[in-house]
Amino acid sequence: MDRPDAEPASGQQVRAEPASGQQDAGQQGTADPASGQEGGAEPASGVAEQAAGRERAVSGTAAGGTSVGGTGAGVTTPQSPEELSRAGWELPWAESPFSRASPQERAELEVAFATAMRRTGSLMQLMGQAAADRIGINNTDLNCLNILSFSGHMTAGELARATGLTTASITGVIDRLEEAGFVRRERDPHDRRRVVVRLSLDKAVKEVASVFVPMLRDWREMAARYSDDELRLIVDFYGRVEQVFRKHLIRLRDE
């Protein structure tokens, strides 16, 4: 039977009464290599398995769980961050997504969303490093080359602002990329005082794009599964993700 609803003070943890002497087998296991938390590793695409595991871990096993907004028996919130950690989760933001304002299903989706974003970010960094190793340049230089490829040419100052690197650091990046043949410095024909860094397209296509072609093919096959409207939604989503990243890049640089 659930305890009467009582909203705890901010920052106070609500402790659960012990369950019937049995612990959910899904709450302990091997370390998750992606997050460093305890818990069984979950496949990246196993959304159904993730939802089922979370339901067992945070809603179905605590006999003395606290009900969510008086929605009825059997709907419980996790009793502490430690319980989420034991289930293989770490709170992805400062406030628990398991709030009175959201149904449990929505809260679980928010956790799955935040976790997917974190895993994707980690995989993108690993992919960037592996690609840089294959090409024979460092990860910072590859990232600058990627940013430069969107327009094909930028000044050193523009590239420094886009990447957050200092003027001295960006000069070193351009020197290395020019020596490797990926870029060249040119005088701006409209203002001879300005030096433009221009992408050497043939070299970039041959040695950089070729590394990513197999992944781009897989992305194309994946995109073919979606309708035009669904792809528009996905493109809009990634545009919003980009805005969030830009916002927090500025925040971290200004602090």
The model's pLDDT over 190-216, given as tens digits with 9 standing for 90+, comes to 888 889 999 999 999 999 999 999 999
Question: Within 10 A of 86 (CB to CB), how many other CB atoms are there?
Answer: 21
Q: What percent of the chain has pLDDT over 90?
A: 49
Rounded CA-CA distance 72/197 in Å is 63
Q: How far is CA 66 from CA 3, 25, 31, 86, 235, in A?
A: 6, 21, 28, 18, 39
Which pLDDT band holds residue 102 (cuts at 50, 70, 90)?
Answer: low
Look-up of token digits 């992919």: 127
The better pLDDT of the pair 103, 236 is held by: 236
Using an 8 Å Cβ cutoff, are 146 and 132 in contact?
A: no
The CATH architecture that domain 137-224 belongs to is Orthogonal Bundle (1.10)
Using an 8 Å Cβ cutoff, are 173 and 144 in contact?
A: yes
pLDDT at position 55 over 60: no
Q: Which of 51-60, 62-71, 86-95 has the largest mean confidence?
A: 86-95
Q: What is the mean pLDDT of residues 4-25?
A: 42
